[in-house]
Structure formats: C-alpha cells, structure tokens
Amino acid sequence: MRIDFNVTEQYDGKKVLHVLKGQMKLSSRLIKNLKKHDGILLNGSSARTIDTVHTGDIVSAVIEYNEEINFQPEESDISIIYEDQYFLAVNKKAGIPVHPSAGHQAGTLVQMVLAHLIKQGLSVKARPINRLDKDTSGIVLFAKNSYIQDRLIAQMKKNSVFKLYLGIVHGIYEPSEGIINLPIARKINSTIERVVDTNGTPSITRYKTLEVHKDLSLVQFTLETGRTHQIRVHSKAMGHPLLGDWLYSDIKTDLIDRQALHSTLFAFDHPITSGRIILNAPIPEDMRKVLRN
C-alpha cells in the first residue's frame, strides 16, 4: 500500500519527518519500520526523514504486505461482512475466542482470519481493532497493516466509533431506556471478573428496551466507554443480568448456552477515503429462538 501526501505551504521547508508524523499521522513505530525497508519516498525517490520538503513535493509511505506471522493459521468458514484492501469485518460466532491466549492456543478468530489473508496471497498479521468475549457474537474488525490499525485505534480513542449491541436480559428495565453511569474495576483476587466500584474507571452504557417477552427483554446497548465486560457488569448492577451469563448471573437457564449478547452495528470513518462505513450483523439464530419462545 502506498500513501501519498502533496506538500502544502504549511510544511514548506520542513523535514520529511514532520510530514510523516503531522499530516500523514504515521506512528513512530511505523516510521521506524519504513526506514528499515526503504519505504519513504520523496517525489518517487528514496528519502531520509531529515530531508527537506518544499511546496508541491510528494512524500510517500510504501507499506509492504510482508510480515512475519506469529500465529498458526487455521482454515475455517468465517462470515465476512465487509472487506477491501485495508481491512475486513467478520461476524464472529459465539464460542470462538478472538485472540490466542494461555487457555486458547487454537481455534481463534485471529488464526481463521490469517488463513483467509494467506489465501489472498498476503503475508500480514491479523490485527483485531475491537475484541469480543468468547461467548459474545457479532462484529470484529481487522486491519491489514499497521497504518490502518493506528488510524482505526485513533478513532476508537476519540470515541468517533459507534458500537451497538443487542442483549436479552432477565426482567424489564424501568424506565425502559436510560443511561447507566457506574465505574468498573477488576474484582479483587480475580483475573477475569469485573465489579462496580467507586474507585473504578468511569464507565457509561446507554440502554433502550426494544421488546418484552414475558420475563425477558431484548435491549439495545450503546457503549460510550469500552471497559472489559461493561455491558455484562452494568446489566447485573441494574438487577437485569444477561440471559445465560454464567459469570454475572445466578439464574439458571436452558434457553441458551452462552450470554445472550451480540455486537450488531459498528460504524467508523474509512481511514483512507474518510467515508462513513456502517457495518451490520443481524441477531443470531440462538437469540432469535429465545425471543420466539
């Protein structure tokens, strides 16, 4: 991938480095990698970061799709919602971890996406931009190179990414919609569980009840912050834990074999074209079946 920048008067007389870090917004890590692989060009010729630029010059960054892959790829059917040369979005099934970990060395979404990329002739890392719990289904976005990863993560940090979830909870929210503003912290002596704690990190979830089915409700959740297990913890704190949530609910059920939570919408600005990308993943069949009962 090649990114070009036409030098404006603002950068006239400045160094190539100022253009790379300023207008092009490249990270120091990526610039270091570009230098190593002769990936910085000035008017089409190899350049140094200390070279001076002038109005009308073209500074280019050539990002190679050739990296050492650090996980074993695994071929599997994945549901791709969107893909171009910069990123792809997958509708993850419940029960699949996103990333390899001590407890899950195989069968992860990263390894499945790696296999897909290799089939395309690419030798790149699979870079997940967002993560879902193993038993949460829905949209996971992957960048195809470090520049796209940096630009998408920057949007996440600025809260310009919009994420919408659907969950089935026990009981009925009163009022039917509102804001949950409760700080979250890691539970003492636990590596996994989170709790509401006044000394925790500020955490905000918006909720809206969409349907009521006897003693269950289909609720739409919008995250204004992205804490670990945020929806699950906030739902429990409000007295309406997610159906099937073995960690945050003591209510037994045979209606579903995982927490009934699904990432259904993910919207962001395309890191190259700036156009708004809106991704949708319909509610999965196991949650539909609960609502039909």
Structural domain contains residue 277: no
My answer on whether 78 and 48 are in the same domain is no
My answer on whether 181 and 216 are in the same domain is yes
150 is catalytic: no
My answer on whether 167 and 259 are in the same domain is yes
My answer on whether 52 and 74 are in the same domain is no
Q: What span, in angstroms and rounded, lies between the C-alpha atoms of 271 and 77?
A: 27
My answer on whether 135 and 169 are in the same domain is no
Of 196, 207, 238, 204, whose CA–CA distance to 224 is shortest?
204
My answer on whether 249 and 220 are in the same domain is yes
Q: Which of 62, 89, 104 is the last residue of a domain?
A: 62
Overall number of domains in the chain: 3
My answer on whether 71 and 143 are in the same domain is yes
My answer on whether 85 and 57 are in the same domain is no
Structural domain contains residue 111: yes
Sign of the C-alpha dihedral, residues 181, 256, 166, 105? Answer: positive
- Residue-level pLDDT, tens digit, the chain, 293 residues: 788 889 999 999 999 999 999 888 888 888 988 898 889 999 999 999 999 999 999 999 888 767 777 788 999 999 999 999 999 999 999 999 999 887 778 899 999 999 999 998 888 888 999 999 999 999 999 999 888 999 999 999 888 899 999 999 999 999 999 999 999 999 999 989 999 999 999 999 999 999 999 899 999 999 999 899 999 999 999 999 999 999 999 999 999 999 999 999 999 999 988 999 999 999 999 999 999 87
CATH number of the domain enclosing 83: 3.30.2350.10
Q: Which residue among the candidates 57, 77, 133, 250 is catalytic per the annotation? A: 133
My answer on whether 207 and 246 are in the same domain is yes
Structural domain contains residue 274: no
Determine the structural domain holding residue 188 and report its residue range: 163-263
